[in-house]
Structure 1
Amino acid sequence: MTCKKNIATLFFVSLSGFFFGQEISDTLKTSSVEEVIVTATRTERNVATLPLPTQIITGESIRKSGVSRLNEIIQEQTGLITVPDFGGGEGIQMQGLDAAYVMILLDGQPMFGRSAGTLDLSRISVNNIERIEIVKGASSCLYGSEALAGVINIITKKPQISDKLKGNVNYKIAGFNTHDASANLEYGKNKIGGELFANFFSSGGYSLSSDEFLNTVEPYRNVTFQPKIKINFNEKVNLSASTRFFMQNQDYKARIESQEMTGESLIKEWNHALLINQQATEKLKIVYDLYATHYQADEYLNQNSGQLFEESRFDQWFFRPEIRSHYRLGKNTLSAGVGMNYESLDRTYFADKAVLNSEYIFGQFEWFLKEKWNILAGFRYDHHHQYESQLSPKLGINYKWNENLSLKASVGYGYKAPDLRQLYFNFTNSAVGYTVLGYNVASEKLALLQNQGQIASVENVDFSSALKPESSVNFNFGGYFKKEKFSFDYNLFYNRITNLIDTKVIASKKSGQNVFSYLNLDEIFTYGAELNSSYRFNRNFTVSAGYQYLIAKDQEMTDRIKNGEIFARNPSTLETFQLRPSDYFGLLNRSKHTANLKLNYTIQPLGTTINARLFYRSKYGIRDSNNSQILDRYDVFVKGYFTANLTINQEFKYGISAQAGALNLFNYKDAANIPNLAGRQFFGRIQYQF
C-alpha cells in the first residue's frame, strides 16, 4: 500500500494496406519518407531518418487483409514468426529471439499476462488499429525489461474533436464457426472528443486429430470494450484518457488416466492510461503519464462426477507513473524521463504474493548534423529492488547518401529481468513427482524437502547471490534505396544473450524424480539478414517480396562440439558417435529461411482489389530425439512448407464495403508439430462506414 501511495504522490506532485499506403501501396510499409513513427524514439520521427530498423503496418492495410486478430497480421511480416505456447496462444519470434524477449505495447503502454513468458497476441482485435509500429533490435534504453529483441507497438484510433458523429460497424463470419463483430463510434464538441470501440469474437475452435473429445484449440469467446476521451484545455495543455476491458471464456478439457474431464478457463484484463501533454514553452514539451493494468486468469477442471480435480489462478497488477520531457534545440531534440514500476503477482504455486519494485531514468539526444547525418544516443538506468540494477545504452547513426539512398547502423544493450515465476515458483507435479522451485525460494524449500526425508542427493549450487537479469548486445547495419517505382531495404543483425535463465536439476528425490530451479546458465547468439523489396508496375498493380536468413545457436554447445564432447546415438544400432560442427543445426523452432511474396491488383472501374500473399518457412527442429543434448541434423524436423492467404475487397456506394477470402488457402496442416496452424478457413465480411 505504501508503494502505491508513493506512485500516486510522485505523479501528482510533478503536475505543479497491405500495399495500400502509397496510392495503392504496400502491405507492409518500410522506410517510406511520408511515414512518422513514435515507438523508436518516443518522439515523432520520419521513418527515413531513423538509424534503427523499423517497419509500419497501416490500419488501412490491416483492414484490406481481412484478418481479425493481431497474431494473424503479425505473422505475415518479414522476419516475424508466431509460435504456439502451451495453452494454444501465439507469441512472436523476432531476429531469432523468443517471444519472452519481445515487448508488446498497446498505445505505448506495456501489456501483461505472460503466464510462461509468452503474451498471447490473439487477445487483441485489429478492428480499431490505426497502425502497428515495429522496432527491431534491443530497445531497453527506452522501454526497460523484455525489449531485448525489439518492440511492437499497437496504436489504436484516437478521439477526433468534431461535432459530427462518425464510425463504422462490421461483421465477419468464417470457418470453424467464427464470428467477429465490431463497432467504432467517435464524436466531439468544442474542446472534448470521445471514441468508443466494442468487439465480440467467438470461435468454435478446431481439431487436427480424430479425437472426438479433445480439440487442438477448444471453443472460446471474448469481448473487448475500449472507451477514450480527449480534452483540449487550451492550445498548450490537453488530456487523454483511455480504458480497455477484455474478457474471454474458453472450454477446458483434459484426459487424465483415461478419465475425461471438463472445465473452463476465464481471462479478465483491464488497462487504463491517463496522459497530460503540456507545451510548457515554445521549445519544451512535458508529458505526465499514469498507467495501470490488471490481468487475471482462472481455470478449473472437474472430474466426470462433477467433483473438482484441480484449479489455478493468475492475478497480476502493474502500476507505473512516468514523467518525460522533450526539449527542442533547433532541429535537435533532447529527451529525458523518470518513472516507477510496481508489479505484483498472486499465483497458484506461489507461497505468497510476489512483488517487484523499481525506479528508472532515461535520456536521449537526437542530433541532426548538417543534412546528411543523424545521430541517436540514449541510455536508461533501472534501479531494481529484487535483482541487479541495469544500465542500458544505445547508439544509432543514419547517413543520407542522396535522395534515393540512406545507410544506418545501431548498437544497443538490452536486458530481461527474471520474471516472478523464475523467482518464486513452488510447484510439484502430483502425478509424476518432480518439483520446480523459483530461485529466491529454492534454498528454503529444498531444506524443507530434506527435513521431510524426500531428497537423495543435492547438487553443488550456490543461491547466495541474486539471480542475474538476462542481457544482450545487439548490432544492426542496413540501408534503404528507393527510385521511381522500385524500393529496396536490407538489415544485417547480430544478437548475443548472456546469463540466459534456464532450468537445471538441483537435487534428486528418493522417488527417482528431480528438483529443478532457474539458474543463469547459457549464452546464445543469433545473426542473419532481412531483405524487403517492392515494385509498382502501375497505379493498379504492386508486387513486394521479403526474405530472412537466420542462424541461432547456443555458444556453450558450439564450443563443446568443437572440443569433441557431444555425442549422439544411432537409433538403429544404438551406437554412439561424435558430432561434428556441421551437424549442429541450432536452437529449436528456428528456420534458416523464411520468405513472402505479396501481390496487390486493383480493378478501378469495379472498385475491386485482389490481395494475394504467399509465405514460405524452411525446415526447423522440434526436439532432440537421439540424446545428443542439442538439435543436430539427425533429430526430428518439421519439413519446409508454403501457406497462402487471399482476400478480395469490394467497395460499394454509401460507405458499404465487403470482403471475401481464405486463410491457409493450400490447407496445409501438421497436427503433430504445428498446432497453431488450422486448416483452410474461408471468410466473408460486410462493413458500413458513416
Structure 2
Amino acid sequence: MKYLFLLISLIMNGILFSQSSSISGKITFESKAIQLTTIELLKSSYKTQIDSLGNYRIENVAAGNYKIQVTSLGLQAINKNISLKENETLILDFKLKENENELNEVVVSGTLKPIKRLESAVPVEVYNPVFFKKNPTASIYEALQNVNGVRPQLNCGVCNTGDIHINGLEGPYTSVMIDGMPIVSSLSTVYGLSGIPNSLVERIEIVKGPASSLYGSEAVGGLINIITKNPTNAPVFSADVFTTSWLETNADIGVKFKIKEKATSLLGLNYYNYNQTIDNDNDGFTDVTAQNRISVFNKWNFNREQNRLFTIAVRGMYEDRWGGDVNWEKKYRGGDQIYGESIYTKRGELLGSYQLPTTEKLILSFSGTMHFQDSRYGTTSYIANQKIAFAQLTWDKKIKNNDLLTGIASRYTYYDDNTASTAILSENNPEKTWLPGIFLQDEITFSEKHKILLGIRYDYNSIHGNIFTPRFAYKWKINNNNILRFNTGTGFRVVNLFTEDHAALTGSREVVITNNLDPEKSINANLNYIKKIYFDNGTFVGIETTAFYTRFSNKIVSDYETDPNKIIYDNINGYALSQGISCNTDINFTNGLKFILGATYMDVSNVENGIKTRPFLTENFTGTWSISYKINPINVSIDYTGNVYSPMKLPLLSETDPRNPNSPWYSLQNIQFTYTGWKNFEMYAGIKNLLNFTPKQNNQFLISRTEDPFDKNVQYDTNGKVLVTPQNPYGLTFDTTYVYGPNQGIRGFFGLRYNFY
C-alpha cells in the first residue's frame, strides 16, 4: 500500500508539474474590448472566454504544441500555432477584424467602387465560395439555384440551355458581368456562366433591380457580377475534382506564379465531361445533354508605383453539347433521319483595368468578347457570330461629404446570324450597334446615420436614339444593428430577339414579329431592411428583408396561345409588373450549427387592356435553405441544401394537350459530408436530388411526339390547325419547350479539393 501511495503521488506531482504553464492576453477590436469571444486550444479541453475588459487566461496547460483559436461572432476567427514550454507564462494579444463572411463584405457592384456592404446605399447580396461549396456544381449557372430569388431556368428539354431569372423576370433582364465588365450578353448567358473555374471565383455579387444608370443596357431587372480572385492572394496551387454516379466529371485547377516582383499571374483550367446516354423517362430522348467543355482563364496583376491598379485577364472556352434521340450520332447532324440538337460554341474574352498615372484617380476599364455558335436543332441551323467591345473611363473624387464618380463609356456590338433577324430583302445585314454613354453619381454623407446617392446616365443608341436612366438611393443607419435603405431607378434594354428565345429556333412553331420592337424600359423601387441580433448566449441572427416593385413599359411578350403553330412577338400594349417581398436569414449558434434561409413571394404579371395575365414559367414563391454543422472532434462538416418552387404556368400546344398546364410544387434537395482532417485537403461526398424529383412524374411525356420529331406524320386543316388523327391523338406537333426543371434524378457525388499556399 505504501508503494502504491508513493506511485500515485509521483504521478500527481508529474501532472501538476507538467501543467504549470499558462496562456493569457487581451482580445480587442478597433482598440476596444469586445464581448462574447471564445479562446480555445483545438483538439484539447482547454477553453475559456474573455472578461468584461477583454482579458483572458488559460491555466494549468500541459507543455506541448497547440493551435489556438479565437472566435467572436461577426468577426474573423484567428488560428495560430503555438509552442508552450514547461513552467512558461505565454502572453498572446489578438486584434480581431470584421468577418467578410457575414454582413461586412467589401462590394463594388452597387456603386462601381469598393465599399463595405453595410455602408453601401445600394443593397448588394454577396455569396462567397464557402456558400457554393455546400452544393458543388460544374458551373456557376447551376450553383445559383441555392440563391434566394434567383432561379436557373432551362429553356430547352433537349439541349438544356437556359438563362437566369431574378425575382421572376426572364433571363434577358439580367446583366451578367465578370469583374464589372459586361462581357456576358444575352446570346451567351448560359455559356458565359459555364466554364468559369469555380476555384478562381472570389465572390458573386447580386443586385436586384435596375442598374442601368451605372451599367447601361440589359441591367433592367438585376445584375450578377462575378468577382475573380486577386492573383496576389490566391493559393500557389488549387484543385477541385469531383464525379457523380452518372459519370459527370468536373475539374477546376488553379496555379499562381510570379515574374520577379513585377507581376503575379493566376492560371485556371476548367474541364467538364459527360458523355452518357441515359433515358430514365423512356421517351427515346436523352434526359441530360452530353457535354464536353474546356475553359482556360488567365489573370495578371502588375505591381506599379503608388499601388496603382493594373490587371488584365483572358478566357477561352470551347464546348460541344448534344441531346436528342438516344440513337443520334454526329453523322446525323442537321439531317432528318434521327433527331438531335448539337451546339458547338467557341468563346474568347479579354478584360482589364488600368489606373492612369495621374494625381486624380482615373481608371480605364475595357473588355472584348467573341462568341461563335454553330447549332443544329434537327434540320434547323442557327449559326451566330457576336463581337462586343467595351471601354469605360471613370473619375473617382471625394470632396468633403461628397463621394463623386463620373465616367464615359462606349459599347460596340456586332451580331450576325443566319435567321431573318439579320436580313433585309434576303440580303445579309449584320446588326452593328454603337452605345456611347456618360454617367454621374454622387454619394452624399450627411452624418454617420444618413446618406443619399444620386445618379444619372445618358446613352445614345445608334438605332433607338436617346436614353436617360436616373437613380436615387437613401440609407438610414438607425444604429449598428439596424439599417434601412430605399432605392429607386430606371433601366432599359435593347433587344435582339433571336439571341434570347430558344423556342424561336426549335420545334415546328413559326416565328411572327408583328411590329418593329421598341426598347424595353423599367422603373423600380425597393425598400431594404437589415437587422442584426446578438444574444447573450453567443447566438447571432441576421435578417435582411426587401420589398420590391418593378413596372415595365414596352415589354416584349411571346404569345404561344393565339395560334398553337406560331410564336407571336410584340411590345406589350400596356405594362408588366414584378412585385413582392423577399427575406434572407442567417442564424449562427455557438455550437457550430448554422442556418441560411431565404424566401421570396412575388407577383409577376402582364396587364393589357385592363386584363391581368400571368407569364409562363414564373413562380409565385421560392424558398432556399442551407443548414450546416461541423463535428470538430472528427473534422467532418455536414451541409444540407435545397430549394422549393411554387407552380408555374407552362406552354401547351393545344386544348387537347394532356400535359399539366401548371408545374407542381417541387423541391431539389442535397446533402454533403466534408472531411477536413488532412492538411490542405478536403474530401467530400453526398447525394443530389434526394427526393428523386423529375418533371416526368406528373406528365405522360415532356417532349411531345418524340416518335415523329420532324412532323412527317402531322396533318393540318385548311387553316393550318393540327388535326387529331389515330397517329396523333392529341393533335400535337414536336415541341421541346415544355420544361421547368432539370430532368435528372437522384445521384451520388464524390470529390477532392487541395489548396497549397
**TM, length-normalised to structure 2:** 0.73
CA contact (8 A) 2:529 2:544 kept: yes
For 2:152 and 2:567, how far apart are their aligned partners in 1?
A: 31
2:526 maps to amino acid: N
Say which of 373, 390, 412 aligns to 1:297. Answer: 373
The aligned residue for residue 453 of structure 2 is: 376
The aligned residue for residue 538 of structure 1 is: 590
The aligned residue for residue 649 of structure 2 is: 621
Say which of 302, 325, 340 aligns to 1:231. Answer: 302
Tell me whether 84-93 or 126-135 shows the greater mean CA deviation: 84-93
Tell me whether 139-148 or 640-649 shows the greater mean CA deviation: 640-649
What does residue range 442-453 of structure 1 map to in structure 2 within 5 Å? none
For 2:77 and 2:669, how far apart are their aligned partners in 1?
A: 21
The aligned residue for residue 408 of structure 2 is: 338
Say which of 543, 566, 575 aligns to 1:523. Answer: 575
The aligned residue for residue 654 of structure 1 is: 679
Partner SS state of residue 148, structure 1: coil
The aligned residue for residue 266 of structure 2 is: 195
**Deviation at 1:232?**
1.7
For 1:662 and 1:186, how far apart are their aligned partners in 2?
A: 32
Say which of 590, 597, 608 aligns to 2:636. Answer: 608
What does residue range 298-313 of structure 1 map to in structure 2 within 5 Å? 298-300=374-376, 309=379, 311-313=381-383
1:88 equivalent in alignment to 2:190: no
What does residue range 318-397 of structure 1 map to in structure 2 within 5 Å? 318-330=388-400, 332-349=402-419, 350-351=422-423, 352-397=429-474
CA contact (8 A) 1:319 1:342 kept: yes
The aligned residue for residue 131 of structure 1 is: 203
What does residue range 284-683 of structure 1 map to in structure 2 within 5 Å? 284-300=360-376, 309=379, 311-330=381-400, 332-349=402-419, 350-351=422-423, 352-419=429-496, 421=498, 434=510, 436=512, 467-484=517-534, 485-502=540-557, 518-519=570-571, 521-556=573-608, 559-560=610-611, 586-623=614-651, 636-671=661-696, 672=702, 673-683=739-749
**Deviation at 1:275?**
1.7
CA contact (8 A) 2:186 2:499 kept: no
**Deviation at 1:545?**
1.6
For 1:128 and 1:614, how far apart are their aligned partners in 2?
A: 24
CA contact (8 A) 1:286 1:324 kept: yes
The aligned residue for residue 451 of structure 1 is: none
**Deviation at 1:516?**
5.4
For 1:615 and 1:49, how far apart are their aligned partners in 2?
A: 30
Residues 206-257 of structure 1 show CA distances to partners (whole Å, capped at 9, x for unaligned) of 6565447521332111011011112123115342111000110113546999
For 1:471 and 1:675, how far apart are their aligned partners in 2?
A: 29
1:413 maps to amino acid: T
CA contact (8 A) 2:650 2:663 kept: yes
Q: Residues 210 and 588 (structure 1 numbering): CA distance in 2 closer, same or farther, change over 3 Å? A: closer
Q: Residues 590 and 434 (structure 1 numbering): CA distance in 2 closer, same or farther, change over 3 Å? A: closer
For 1:43 and 1:517, how far apart are their aligned partners in 2?
A: 39
For 1:138 and 1:301, how far apart are their aligned partners in 2?
A: 34
Q: Residues 210 and 410 (structure 1 numbering): CA distance in 2 closer, same or farther, change over 3 Å? A: closer
**Deviation at 1:269?**
0.7
Partner SS state of residue 554, structure 2: strand
Say which of 156, 176, 181 aligns to 1:109. Answer: 181
The aligned residue for residue 230 of structure 2 is: 158
Partner SS state of residue 653, structure 1: coil
CA contact (8 A) 2:197 2:268 kept: no
For 2:77 and 2:418, how far apart are their aligned partners in 1?
A: 51
The aligned residue for residue 84 of structure 2 is: none
What does residue range 18-97 of structure 1 map to in structure 2 within 5 Å? 32-86=102-156, 87-97=159-169
**Deviation at 1:436?**
3.9
Q: Residues 83 and 514 (structure 1 numbering): CA distance in 2 closer, same or farther, change over 3 Å? A: closer
For 1:678 and 1:383, how far apart are their aligned partners in 2?
A: 45
For 1:433 and 1:409, how far apart are their aligned partners in 2?
A: 44
CA RMSD of aligned residues (A): 3.4
For 1:132 and 1:104, how far apart are their aligned partners in 2?
A: 10
Residues 73-108 of structure 1 show CA distances to partners (whole Å, capped at 9, x for unaligned) of 211011111211134123111122111100000121
Say which of 256, 260, 266 aligns to 1:186. Answer: 256
CA contact (8 A) 2:686 2:749 kept: yes
1:548 maps to amino acid: T
In our comparison, the structure showing a higher alpha carbon Rg is: 2
Q: Percent identity?
A: 20
For 2:592 and 2:252, how far apart are their aligned partners in 1?
A: 30
For 2:176 and 2:301, how far apart are their aligned partners in 1?
A: 24
**Deviation at 1:626?**
8.3
CA contact (8 A) 1:239 1:275 kept: yes
Partner SS state of residue 662, structure 2: strand
**Count of equivalent residues:** 597
In structure 2, the gaps of 5 or more residues are 1-72, 79-98, 329-333, 424-428, 535-539, 697-701, 703-738
For 1:215 and 1:483, how far apart are their aligned partners in 2?
A: 49
For 1:640 and 1:548, how far apart are their aligned partners in 2?
A: 15
For 1:588 and 1:123, how far apart are their aligned partners in 2?
A: 29
Partner SS state of residue 464, structure 2: coil
2:693 maps to amino acid: Y
The aligned residue for residue 714 of structure 2 is: none
Residues 426-478 of structure 1 show CA distances to partners (whole Å, capped at 9, x for unaligned) of x999x9694545xxxxxxxxxxxxxxxxxxxxxxx776xxx421001101012
CA contact (8 A) 2:281 2:287 kept: no
The aligned residue for residue 579 of structure 1 is: none
For 1:245 and 1:369, how far apart are their aligned partners in 2?
A: 46
Partner SS state of residue 231, structure 2: coil
What does residue range 245-256 of structure 1 map to in structure 2 within 5 Å? 245-253=316-324
Partner SS state of residue 693, structure 2: coil
For 1:462 and 1:300, how far apart are their aligned partners in 2?
A: 28
**Deviation at 1:324?**
0.8
Q: Residues 242 and 97 (structure 1 numbering): CA distance in 2 closer, same or farther, change over 3 Å? A: same
Residues 366-422 of structure 1 show CA distances to partners (whole Å, capped at 9, x for unaligned) of 111111011111111110111132101110101011121111101110111122648
Residues 104-129 of structure 1 show CA distances to partners (whole Å, capped at 9, x for unaligned) of 00121123353498767445442321
For 2:192 and 2:742, how far apart are their aligned partners in 1?
A: 12
**TM, length-normalised to structure 1:** 0.79
Partner SS state of residue 75, structure 1: helix
Partner SS state of residue 605, structure 1: helix
For 2:217 and 2:105, how far apart are their aligned partners in 1?
A: 28
